[in-house]
Chains A and B, each alone.
Chain A
Amino acid sequence: MILDLDKLIAAHPEHLWLELSPELRERTWEQLGNYANDAARWRAYVNAVCLNAFVDWLQHEEDLAEALLVSPGRNALPNIWDFVSGFAIELGETRLVLIASEIYDIEEISVPQEWVDIPGWAGDYYLGVQVQLEGDECWMRVWGVTTHAQVKQGNYDRIERTYTVQKEELTESINALWLSREICPPPKPVVAMLPTIDAAEVPGLLQQLGQLRSYSPRLELPFTKWAALLYSEDYRLQLYRRRLVPPLSQWFDMDQLPAVQAIRASGWQLYREVFGAVEVGALARRFRKTESEPAISWVKRIDGEIFPSKYGIALVMNLMRDQDGIIWILPQVRTLGAIERSVCLPEGLQLRVVDEAGATFDEVRAGRASNMIQLDDWFNDAPDSRLILEIVYQDTTVKESFVI
């Protein structure tokens, strides 16, 4: 064993050390929820494990256990972690913000600006947490504590939008925090109100940010605008859903309203809504579907300004579930508009299927007079696996990621 927790604890007994048991890790991983990309999923996992372990510990400390609230509520956490790391716990009137990091040689605490400058998100205290989530012994430790005022006095990194406080300026003992809040709590943080976001501007912003699926859009807008968007639970949820697509297994049942809403929120429409009943009939004949094999086709319009096609283009997801429950996929790219048959796709435009390892699984390219391209055959993959469809033309790539 390279890493011995017992020795680490002995080296820093003033820190709060919590073991992260295999059960806790498994349970957390299983209950993680959906995220737009792998980086966000790992970020959520790191935070969720720390949250669960810290709350478990707090509830076992008799003299500290009191009204404990995960703020703004556990259900809201996925739509925060999809964008930014960190979480808050309210103990009575005290608000703790925990910032987890996996960095080996901790030198500082880096607090995302969201947890400092958004009213209602800011904490009375900030706890630096180091976490080790790989290896036979997994653990977390609270290695430093500071206050909102100290964080505000820290270094502000305008590129990453973080406040940084050096290790030497932090208090290593978590006991100081408990005693401070009981005996002489610091003044409540004063955070400037955010400007109201123009409701008319929101759809455009959601559209813009919703397309950035491979990373968090937190640096995309000026901070105050981004913060105002994030602060609104409604807008945050809309943005989260827009970036997130439900698993393809949920794309068949139109009675599953939340799933259907999420699919629609990310820009998908039913085939018949875009191309009409006549085209649906043609599609059914093309795929020779049977009564016993449920099938559905969804369409997403691709922004007309991205690709040089007069009437715009659409990505079509044809889905079929066979008798064994396996989902078969046949994606297409085709032109849009009333006279789409006579309009061609840009020559050289490609449709690629990329697996979760990033390898191209299959691809097809538009010729000189293609008005539709599709793969040679249907394909499938294991449930819960991920795939990405890429539409590529010259320097431009549009990506759509899916979970089966």
Chain B
Amino acid sequence: MLYQTKVMCHQLVPPPRQFQQKFTDFAFSLETEAGRRHFRWIKDIELERNIKRYQETDPVFCQWWQGQDEKALLQYFIDIWQDLARGEAERQLAKKHLAAYLEYPRYRAVEQRYETFRDFAAPEETWEKYQHISLVMAQNPDLITKFYHRYRGGKGLEMHFQLEIESEIREEYYRETGEGKYSDWYRLKNTSDRLLKQKLQELGRVDEWKIACCLKAKQALFAVYGKTGRQWMPPSGRHYQDAAAYFNRYYLPEIGEGSNLKQPISADKCEKWINRCLVALKLAPKCVSASQILSEEAEDGETIPPFSYSDPEQDLVAQEEAEKREKALEPLTELLAQKLSELEGENTNQIVLMLRYGLGLPDQAIGDQIGVHQTTVLYRRQQFHRELVRSLSDWVQCHHPDRALLELAALEDDIVAWLQSHYQSRLHPVLFAAFSRLDADSSEFLRQAYILETDLTDIALSYNVKVAAVKGQLASSLDQLSSELISWVDSNFGLSIGAKRKKVLAYVESWIRQVPESDILADI
């Protein structure tokens, strides 16, 4: 059975392609009279014509094509797909080129995973399912872009995509079978003692020493047990024996003091305690992963504010501290500004700085604008911070003699605050000008709603209009301010940030809330 299955699998993978076929050809399977399958590469005429067109009209493309620079060509089509200003037909063709490129890697990925995870009872179903998953991925340019940005060289671009698709298929398999990160054992291993203790208490375990026994039994297990080959297989009797031996050798002397535990534990006892941990963990599966919680809560790349209780006294102290630090930084602003102008001179740095510290766009949105992954933006920003602190090194040596890391981190925070103030001060005149162009009612509604924080119902009553009308007017005013700001940024930085209107709108709202009333009144 194994041998036969393997033969079938090999017949279902197309042969490697020539470079010229990679962006234009798709695999088609044919069945011979003898019932055997084989593959042919079929050229998509439309894609071939498109390639010829780019070769004739774009010398850079032509150069990449002749140099068989697959990475640059892939980036070329990704750029076209992401450029909303291009015609829909051209974008769809770019999407198809990307899908064609993934055709071979995706078949190879299916083959590799099939070899590992095939279902012997119904191999065809497994094959079809993996094919489906890979096909859906190949037709998703955003996912392809994500995979592409992860490429760091090495084994080649096609192999990179193959491994990425394999990883996705494997994930799907794990999701169904409860392996990988879905494995109970993996989850138990990576759950902190603090959380597990809490769960055991919720389960009704109240004796501290019993909880300690469960936690230590878990630790003993993971001192002797790990992933076997590629799977988190359930621990065997041998693992429980070893875990019990570990427990008795290292933990029993400590736990035994002041508890009812006097005798060495058996493997069965150890297994029982570990099962207790598993049951506790399963009580609230959503709480086991901080990462999962974060990813569920964070929307559209927004920063999650840390949860905290507001203490007026502490707030006041913090405000005073911030003011003191800001004052300390004042004599240094010249040095900072000088360094900043050097940084702005290079490539797309100014765009990154303005979009992040001026408009407050997340790194992902900035990366989309300049065609790099968000981590590249993050690393570049972190480098800016370093450069700026370095420009103050003499001052730092004088003012931070205790050499505390926390002090340097605070200084970095201060510099970020200074950067925000610096770039936002360039946007404020644009917004004041836009504000002055609003009609009187719109300005007043904004002032009432955002500066005076008047309830919308009260505004509606005082103007004798419906609440919906006030809402509509506010939305329209904010939209107008955002449009003018977007237009200013686009024309000054050669960008097209219209797709980030929601973020810009949030910035405009926060600007109105923070702007001194006297400044607004002067405009009104």
Interface residues of A (CB under 8 A from B): 2-4, 6-11, 13, 16-19, 21-24, 26-27, 37-43, 56-57, 61, 63, 102-107, 132, 134-136, 145-147, 159-160, 171-180, 182-186, 214-216, 219-220, 354, 356-359, 385-386, 388, 390, 397
Contact = CB atoms under 8 A, between A and B. Distances in A.
A175 B292 contact: no
B291 A3 contact: yes
B150 interface: yes
B224 A39 contact: yes
A180 B379 CA distance: 18
B167 interface: yes
B224 A104 contact: no
Contacts of B396: 179, 183-184
Contacts of B191: 103-105
Interface stretch (B41-49, B326-334, B382-390, B458-466): B382-390
Given A63-B383, A135-B171, A180-B408, A23 B189 contact: no
Contacts of A183: 389-390, 393, 396-397, 408
B298 interface: yes
Interface string B233-246: 10111110110011
B interface secondary structure, majority: helix
B440 interface: no
Contacts of B375: 9, 17-19
Nearest to A20: B150
B301 A104 contact: no
B150 to A, nearest CB: 5
A92 to B, nearest CB: 16
B241 A39 contact: no
B518 interface: no
Interface residues of B, number: 87
B251 A2 contact: no
B405 A176 contact: yes
25 contacts: A3-B292, A3-B295, A6-B374, A7-B301, A10-B374, A21-B150, A21-B152, A22-B166, A23-B154, A37-B224, A63-B387, A102-B190, A136-B170, A147-B405, A159-B250, A173-B412, A175-B408, A179-B389, A183-B393, A184-B397, A214-B224, A215-B223, A357-B233, A386-B228, A397-B241
Contacts of B168: 136
A179 B390 contact: yes
A2 B292 contact: yes
Contacts of A359: 236
B192 A23 contact: no
Nearest to B238: A358
B159 A23 contact: yes
B439 interface: no
B294 A38 contact: no
B400 A184 contact: yes
Contacts of A177: 405
> For A43, A134, A180, A386, which residue has the most chain B Cβ atoms within 10 angstroms?
A134
A37 B222 CA distance: 11
Given A175-B409, A179-B396, 17 more contacts: A8-B294, A9-B363, A21-B151, A22-B167, A23-B152, A24-B152, A37-B226, A38-B226, A106-B290, A132-B181, A134-B183, A145-B405, A175-B382, A184-B400, A214-B224, A220-B249, A358-B235
A10 B367 CA distance: 12
A135 B225 CA distance: 20
Contacts of A23: 152, 154-155, 159-160, 163
A216 B412 contact: no
B194 interface: yes
A83 B13 CA distance: 44
A11 B386 contact: no
Contacts of A17: 375, 378
A179 B403 CA distance: 10
B405 A2 contact: no
- Give the 9 A-B CB pairs with smallest separation, nearest first: A358-B236, A22-B163, A42-B226, A134-B181, A38-B226, A39-B226, A171-B405, A136-B171, A176-B408
B171 A358 contact: no
Contacts of A39: 222-226
B176 to A, nearest CB: 14
Contacts of B195: 104-105
Contacts of B303: 10-11, 13
B164 interface: yes
Given A135-B181, A357-B228, A105 B405 contact: no
Contacts of B141: none
B519 interface: no
Contact of A175 (B160, B171, B389): B389
B31 interface: no
A358 B185 CA distance: 15
